């Protein structure tokens, strides 16, 4: 009988458990996690904050789904791995033997390192517990400060604004999310935020969080200005939780390095999700992802390799559908313009693939809140940003991920004032008909 131990209760670990059970119904399967809320949708926290989802809607699994996996569960924190003995030590002193081990411990928020960051009323958004505490405080708070330049910070700002809190949104850079969005796209998002009553402060940093009776009372900015506030929420990036892997000597950079089979430098130890730094054949680099779908696919691949046939994980082009200031936005492939000064790490809902800056021509189309931007290479579309109307998002995902040759329409796409959407729609229709 094979002993499988999975560390973590997120989507990577659960999907790995499903894959293991599909190939080994009799093996001993053990799940270890210290999140008191277990397995829930991390992307759903944004909709929970804004009030569109109730807490019960965050849970994709029911009791019978867990029972089908026939798992033992330890609510504990793994503290040490002993590869030679093939054992994992838990914080309650228990040692679990394993034949195959998965590290899917995720990532945690990069801490805010400024005076006053330990005050009551300072919040991050790592877990459901954080969201609960923030919403409880928001009932009493009249004004909030939000720090950070990516998706999670925006979700915090919008969630608080939706609860009737006045929000001051602090950005270190000149505009919102410059690593991924261009100037016009950032402007669209900022305009929509202003319509929601959110005040933006560009090229600003907080020097000190001010306190009154041990609680947040505002902040002093580096330029000397003071802002009053009842609470502060931040999202300045995340750091993979790799301490468990470092101590026994697994090869790590910012994450745990894994091969195409999700194996670490110890063949019987695997890693998946936010904690894994996965080889990207397109760039030849090991990259981090903090997206839900890649975590699920990595977990599935790890589980297959732990219990079934050898299965390679081929890192796909980054693909994420999100809402920015209420505007549905799809981001595919390489669209970035450089490193974002607002982010100390990789932000949740982000992918380093977006930050690879290709030497390409940028073709743009659309205006206001319906917008399409393409990164056009010599023979392929390398990336796209689609804001508003999403009719072309699936077609563009296929064009980018399948590296379909667009030589025949490249000149048309790059022509001044080209009807980009019409050209792409016609090309995709022809491509589909030829493939059937």
Q: For 96-119, what is each residue's pLDDT tens digit?
A: 999 999 999 999 999 999 999 999
Answer whether residue 436 shows pLDDT above 90: no
User: Tens digit of pLDDT for each residue in 356-372?
Assistant: 766 777 776 665 678 99
- Sorted by sequence, the CB contacts under 8 Å of residue 243 that are 6+ apart come out as none
Instruction: Please give the mean pLDDT across all residues of the chain.
Output: 93
Tokens of 69: 């996996």
Same domain, 212 and 282: no
What is the average per-residue pLDDT within 185-190? 95
Q: Tell me, yes or no, whether 300 and 385 share the same domain.
A: no
Tell whether 252 and 213 lie within a shared domain. no
What is the spatial distance between Cα 119 and Cα 132, in angstroms, rounded to a whole number? Answer: 18
Structure confidence at residue 317 (pLDDT): 86
pLDDT given for residue 10 in this prediction: 96
Whether 341 shows a pLDDT value over 90: the answer reads: no
d(CA 1, CA 24) in angstroms, rounded, equals 9
Point out the domain boundary residue: 213, 234, 255: 234
Q: What angle do CA 35, 149, 390 make, to 5 degrees?
A: 90
* CA gap 107, 130 in Å, rounded: 15
Last residue of a domain, one of 178, 204, 234: 234
Instruction: Look up residue 284 and give its two tokens.
Output: 């030849």
153, 117, 159: which is closest to 141 by C-alpha? 159
**Distances, alpha carbon 87 to alpha carbons 99, 290, 355, in Å:** 9, 28, 38
The verdict on residue 314 lying in a domain is no
Specify whether the CB–CB gap between 251 and 257 falls below 8 A: yes
* 131 and 102 both lie in a single domain: no
pTM of the shown model: 0.93
| Residue 35 and residue 61 in one domain | yes
Same domain, 102 and 244: yes
Residue 18's domain spans which residues? 3-108+238-307
User: Quick check: helix, strand or coil at residue 53?
Assistant: coil
Question: In CATH, what number is assigned to the domain containing residue 99?
Answer: 3.50.50.60
For position 430, which CATH number holds? Answer: 3.30.390.30
Q: How many residues does the chain have?
A: 436
User: What confidence score (pLDDT) does residue 227 get?
Assistant: 98
Hey, what are 20's tokens?
């293991």
Q: Are residues 119 and 229 in the same domain?
A: yes
Question: What's the confidence (pLDDT) of residue 362?
Answer: 75
Please identify, among 215, 234, 253, the residue that sits at the C-terminal boundary of a domain. Answer: 234
């Amino acid at each position: 009988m094979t002993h499988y131990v999975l560390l973590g209760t997120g989507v990577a670990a659960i999907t790995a458990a499903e894959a293991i059970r599909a190939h080994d119904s009799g093996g001993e399967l053990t799940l270890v996690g210290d999140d008191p809320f277990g397995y829930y949708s991390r992307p759903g926290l944004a909709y929970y904050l804004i009030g569109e989802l109730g807490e019960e809607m965050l849970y994709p699994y029911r009791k019978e789904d867990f029972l089908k996996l026939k798992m033992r569960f330890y609510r504990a924190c793994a503290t040490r791995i002993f590869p030679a003995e093939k054992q994992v030590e838990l914080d309650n002193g228990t040692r679990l033997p394993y034949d195959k081990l998965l590290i899917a411990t995720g990532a945690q928020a990069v801490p805010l390192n400024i005076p006053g960051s330990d005050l009551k009323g300072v919040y991050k958004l790592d877990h459901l517990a954080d969201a609960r505490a923030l919403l409880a405080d928001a009932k009493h708070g009249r004004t909030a400060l939000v720090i950070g330049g990516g998706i999670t910070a925006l979700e915090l700002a919008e969630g608080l604004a939706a609860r009737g809190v006045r929000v001051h949104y602090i950005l270190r850079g000149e505009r919102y999310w410059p690593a991924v969005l261009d100037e016009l796209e950032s402007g669209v998002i900022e305009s929509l935020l202003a319509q929601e009553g959110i005040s933006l402060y560009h090229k600003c940093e907080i020097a000190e969080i001010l306190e009154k009776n041990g609680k947040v009372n505002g902040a002093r900015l580096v330029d000397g200005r003071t802002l009053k506030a009842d609470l502060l929420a931040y999202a300045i990036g995340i750091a993979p939780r790799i301490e468990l892997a470092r101590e026994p000597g697994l090869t790590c950079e910012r994450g745990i390095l894994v091969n195409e089979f999700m194996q670490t430098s110890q063949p019987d130890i695997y890693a998946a999700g936010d904690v894994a730094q996965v080889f990207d054949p397109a760039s030849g680099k090991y990259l981090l992802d903090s997206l839900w779908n890649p975590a699920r696919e990595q977990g599935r691949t790890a589980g297959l390799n732990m219990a079934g046939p050898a299965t390679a994980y081929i890192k796909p082009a980054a693909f994420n559908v999100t809402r920015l200031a209420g505007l549905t936005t799809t981001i595919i492939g390489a669209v970035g313009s450089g490193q974002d000064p607002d982010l100390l790490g990789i932000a949740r809902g982000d992918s380093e693939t977006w930050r690879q800056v290709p030497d390409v021509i940028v073709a743009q189309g659309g205006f206001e809140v319906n917008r399409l931007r393409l990164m056009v290479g010599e023979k392929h579309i390398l990336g796209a940003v689609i804001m508003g109307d999403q009719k072309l998002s699936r077609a563009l995902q296929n064009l980018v991920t399948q590296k379909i040759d667009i030589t025949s329409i490249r000149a048309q796409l790059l022509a001044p004032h080209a009807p980009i959407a019409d050209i792409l729609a016609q090309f995709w229709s022809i491509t589909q008909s030829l493939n059937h």
